């Protein structure tokens, strides 16, 4: 476990060196700029829109980091040949893969934690001084702790995307890994269509294939509760728990697969 | 070359480019930007596919566009023919992307029902939008109440209004004043006092826009009372001078009025010299009164 931790910390430090966290600056400018402009554009919906914008930006920026950093996690080490001295040390390939994965998760966690604090800050600023009877008409309070449910599921979504990127990164070039990961992400968005494929084709084989893809591909729509949370609709603890369990199982499958593929590569 | 020199050179070159751009604009003005009323995507199914996870923020953008479109048409130059053509498609997309966007339903219904030229004058679309909201959230008594208002105020269908208010009053959590409102609407449909009672309830709303709209309606009702009271001297003049045109000046000269009457937005009322009909002027902040003008279809 110590080896996994060391690799993870190294990945986090590299992210800092690579200026990955510069996106936070963009996020801050986006939120603060929007909070100033939106009041004049939206007929009193500024709190709702800042929540939508904050959650969407958190998800989108995280997605870019997960894909574009994730696809280089392994290939960069191989291209730079830094993987050779690394494997001369007492570190197994599986530990290397896990370390890389958890390092990027740590980067995403730090990134999302800052974004969450910034979003709550802007929401506090916007709701300050608003009379209680107007706040009472909002679907949910400005500083609604339920927003954390949406953020937690965005994080799990990104954890799955990172695992997909890392999986492809173990045996493919960064360019192809990016294409594959984006492909899986987009397919995972429209997963529900695969389930109802029998409505558009007659062939039992095609229907069975679509049904198999429906279950095998990650269902990213599960992780999206942004709309419900912003409108103060309930998101149950059991839903969160089952979705988290689904993410953990899927991530574990991808990481095991990545370890198998990476173990078969010849670095001699 | 040092970094400082390179930085200064970069800034100087950018400054030069900006100056050249400005100079060219003076000599060869940039073509006027054509702003046709464009909506590239109208199908909510397609838009949902395109935006994926980001449906809520896309709904916000379409909502802002709907507001801009409505406001832009409303304050457009007199030479521009106001069509509000994109208003319903934009509201429909907004509410398809975010089915819980209550303000889009409620304000959208107000905008759509607003009489021409201040709105498209399409209460039928207000009804469609609010019914869509009720399909998404059947327990929203606010949508039912708004629907009742549309039936009452714009469509003058007092029976439907009363039924809708009654249904709204039966929703758990609905305010207690909705039930008597249903009764009053049915008993006094078309009476100004019943209408005033409805708008006074809306004037208590937490939403500033809704409050403003209700205040305007209340002012319009007061104005209709004033118009009614002005009919008396007009009829007296016409009785005394049959066949002669009636004007405010002649009424003042005949000492039937102390001066030219103004509405609450300080604009003189309009008096038809031939028929004696009184209404508010187009320039008035109260224009148009209910039924004063019809929208082009």
Q: Are residues B92 and B232 in the same domain?
A: no
Q: Are residues B120 and B260 in the same domain?
A: no
What are the C-alpha distances in Å from A116 to residues A24, A96, A142, B38, B58?
A: 11, 30, 13, 36, 21
A-facing residues of B in 28-67 (CB < 8 A) are 49, 52-57, 59-60, 63-64, 67
Please check whether residue B29 lies inside any domain of the structure.
no
Q: What is the pLDDT of residue B75?
A: 83
Please check whether residue B4 lies inside any domain of the structure.
no
Element holding A208 (H helix, E strand): helix A204-216
This complex has an ipTM of 0.84
Chain B closest CA to A98's CA: distance in Å?
28
Q: A192-219 pLDDT, tens per residue?
A: 888 888 888 888 898 899 888 889 999 9
- Those residues of chain A whose CB sits closer than 8 Å to some CB in chain B are 41-45, 48-49, 52-53, 55-56, 59-60, 133-134, 136-137, 139, 186, 189-190, 220-221, 224, 226-227, 230-231, 233
Please check whether residue B16 lies inside any domain of the structure.
no
Token pair, residue A3, equals 């080896």
Q: Are residues B210 and B232 in the same domain?
A: no
Q: B72-100 pLDDT, tens per residue?
A: 888 888 777 788 889 999 999 999 999 99
Domain boundary among B159, B190, B215: B215
Chain A closest CA to B95's CA: distance in Å?
12
CATH code: domain of residue B211: 1.25.40.10
Give the chain A residue nearest B52 (alpha carbons): A189
Q: Are residues B288 and B205 in the same domain?
A: no
Q: Are residues B80 and B144 in the same domain?
A: yes
Q: Are residues B241 and B174 in the same domain?
A: no
Measure the CA–CA gap between A102 and B83, rounded to whole angstroms.
57
Q: Are residues B82 and B187 in the same domain?
A: yes
Please check whether residue B34 lies inside any domain of the structure.
no
Domain boundary among B167, B183, B215: B215
Measure the CA–CA gap between A91 and B134, rounded to whole angstroms.
61
Picking from A46, A48, A224 by the largest number of B CB atoms within 10 A of its own CB, the best residue to mutate is A48
Please check whether residue B30 lies inside any domain of the structure.
no
Q: Are residues B202 and B262 in the same domain?
A: no
Q: Are residues B155 and B279 in the same domain?
A: no
Give the chain A residue nearest B68 (alpha carbons): A41
Please check whether residue B131 lies inside any domain of the structure.
yes
- Asked if A207 and A197 touch (Cβ cutoff 8 Å), the reply is yes
Q: Are residues B187 and B70 in the same domain?
A: yes
The total number of structural domains that make up chain B: 2
CB contact under 8 A, A189 and B52: yes
Give the chain A residue nearest B54 (alpha carbons): A56
Structural domain that includes position B152 = 44-215
Per-10-residue mean pLDDT, chain A, length 268: 86 84 80 76 81 92 91 84 78 89 94 92 88 83 94 96 94 91 91 82 88 90 93 94 96 94 79
- Asked if A14 and A29 touch (Cβ cutoff 8 Å), the reply is no
Measure the CA–CA gap between A254 and A89, rounded to whole angstroms.
25
Q: What is the pLDDT of residue B44?
A: 86
Chain A closest CA to B6's CA: distance in Å?
23
Q: B170-227 pLDDT, tens per residue?
A: 999 888 777 777 767 766 666 777 778 777 877 777 667 777 878 888 888 889 889 9
Please check whether residue B251 lies inside any domain of the structure.
yes
Q: How many CA atoms lie within 13 A of B58 on its CB side?
A: 19
Token pair, residue B256, equals 């039937």
Which of helix, strand or coil describes residue A157?
A: helix
Q: Are residues B211 and B236 in the same domain?
A: no
Q: What is the pLDDT of residue B296?
A: 42
3-state SS, one letter per residue, for chain B: CCHHHHHHHHHHHHHHHHHHHHHHHHHCCCCCCCCCCCCCCCCHHHHHHHHHHHHHHHHHHHHHHHHHHHHHHHCCCCCCCCCCCCHHHHHHHHHHHCCCCHHHHHHHHHHHHCCCCCCCCCHHHHHHHHHHHHHHCCCCHHHHHHHHHHHHHHCCCHHHHHHHHHHHHCCCCCCCCHHHHHHHHHHCCCCHHHHHHHHHHHCCCCCHHHHHHHHHHHHHHHHHHHHHHHHHHHHHHHHHCCCCCCCHHHHHHCCCCCCCCECCCCCECEECCCCCCEECCCCCCCCCCCCCCCCCC
| Helix A2-17, helix A93-127: angle, nearest 10 | 50
CB contact under 8 A, A44 and B54: no
Q: What is the pLDDT of residue B188?
A: 60
B98 at the A interface (CB within 8 A)?
Answer: yes
Q: Are residues B68 and B201 in the same domain?
A: yes
B292 at the A interface (CB within 8 A)?
Answer: no
pLDDT per residue rounded down to tens, chain B (297 residues): 688 898 999 999 999 999 999 998 888 887 765 555 677 888 888 898 888 889 999 999 999 999 989 988 888 887 777 888 899 999 999 999 999 999 999 999 999 998 888 889 899 999 999 999 999 999 999 999 999 989 988 888 888 988 998 899 899 988 877 777 776 776 666 677 777 877 787 777 766 777 787 888 888 888 988 998 999 999 999 988 888 899 999 999 988 899 999 998 899 999 999 888 898 988 888 887 765 644 444
Give the chain B residue nearest A46 (alpha carbons): B60
Please check whether residue B237 lies inside any domain of the structure.
yes
| Chain B partners within 8 Å of A158 (Cβ) | none
Chain A closest CA to B111's CA: distance in Å?
13
Token pair, residue A4, equals 């996994």
Domain boundary among B164, B188, B215: B215
Q: What pTM does this model have? A: 0.77
Query: With the C-alpha atoms ordered A219, A222, A223, A224, is the resulting torsion angle positive or negative?
Result: positive
């Amino acid at each position: 476990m110590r080896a996994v931790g060391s690799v993870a910390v190294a990945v986090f430090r590299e992210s800092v060196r690579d200026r990955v966290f510069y996106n936070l600056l963009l996020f801050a400018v986006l939120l603060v700029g929007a909070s100033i402009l939106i009041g004049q554009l939206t007929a009193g919906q500024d709190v709702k829109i800042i929540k939508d914008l904050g959650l969407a930006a958190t998800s989108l920026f995280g997605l870019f980091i997960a894909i574009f950093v994730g696809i280089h996690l392994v290939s960069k080490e191989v291209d730079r040949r830094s993987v050779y001295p690394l494997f001369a040390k007492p570190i197994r390939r599986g530990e290397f893969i896990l370390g890389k994965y958890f390092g990027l998760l740590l980067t995403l966690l730090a990134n999302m934690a800052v974004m969450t604090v910034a979003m709550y800050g802007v929401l506090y600023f916007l709701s300050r001084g608003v009379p209680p009877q107007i706040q009472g008409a909002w679907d949910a309070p400005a500083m609604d702790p339920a927003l954390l449910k949406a953020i937690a599921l965005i994080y799990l979504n990104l954890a799955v995307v990172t695992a997909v990127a890392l999986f492809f990164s173990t045996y493919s070039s960064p360019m192809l890994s990016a294409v594959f990961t984006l492909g899986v992400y987009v397919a995972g968005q429209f997963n529900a269509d695969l389930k109802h494929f029998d409505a558009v084709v007659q062939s039992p084989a095609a229907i069975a294939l679509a049904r198999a893809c429906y279950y095998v591909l990650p269902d990213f729509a599960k992780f999206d509760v942004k709309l419900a949370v912003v409108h103060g609709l309930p998101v149950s603890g059991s839903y969160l728990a089952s979705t988290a369990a689904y993410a953990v199982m899927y991530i574990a499958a991808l990481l095991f697969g990545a370890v198998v593929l990476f173990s078969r590569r010849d670095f001699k | 070359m040092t970094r400082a020199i390179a930085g200064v050179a970069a800034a100087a070159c950018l400054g030069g480019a900006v100056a050249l751009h400005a100079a060219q604009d003076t000599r060869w003005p940039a073509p006027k930007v054509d702003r046709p009323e464009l909506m590239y995507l109208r199908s909510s199914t397609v838009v949902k596919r395109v935006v994926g996870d980001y449906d809520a923020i896309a709904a916000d953008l379409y909502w802002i566009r709907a507001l801009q479109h409505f406001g832009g048409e409303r304050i457009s130059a007199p030479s521009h023919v106001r069509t509000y053509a994109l208003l319903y498609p934009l509201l429909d997309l907004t509410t398809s992307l975010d089915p819980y966007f209550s303000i889009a339903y409620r304000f959208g219904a107000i905008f759509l029902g607003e009489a021409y030229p201040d709105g498209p004058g399409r209460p039928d679309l207000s009804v469609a939008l609010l019914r869509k909201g009720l399909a998404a959230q059947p327990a929203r008594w606010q949508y039912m109440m708004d629907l009742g208002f549309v039936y009452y105020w714009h469509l003058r269908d007092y029976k439907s209004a009363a039924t809708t208010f009654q249904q709204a009053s039966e929703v758990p959590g609905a305010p207690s004043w909705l039930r008597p409102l249903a009764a009053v609407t049915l008993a006094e449909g078309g009476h100004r006092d019943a209408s005033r009672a409805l708008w006074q309830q809306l004037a208590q709303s937490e939403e500033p826009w809704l409050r403003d709209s209700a205040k305007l309606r209340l002012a319009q009702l007061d104005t209709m009372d004033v118009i009614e009271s002005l009919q008396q001297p007009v009829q007296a003049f016409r009785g005394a001078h049959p066949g002669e045109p009636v004007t405010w000046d002649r009424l003042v000269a005949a000492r039937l009025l102390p001066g030219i009457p103004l509405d609450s937005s300080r604009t003189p009322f309009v008096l038809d010299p031939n028929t004696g009909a009184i209404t508010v002027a187009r320039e008035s902040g109260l224009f148009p009164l209910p039924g004063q003008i019809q929208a082009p279809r």
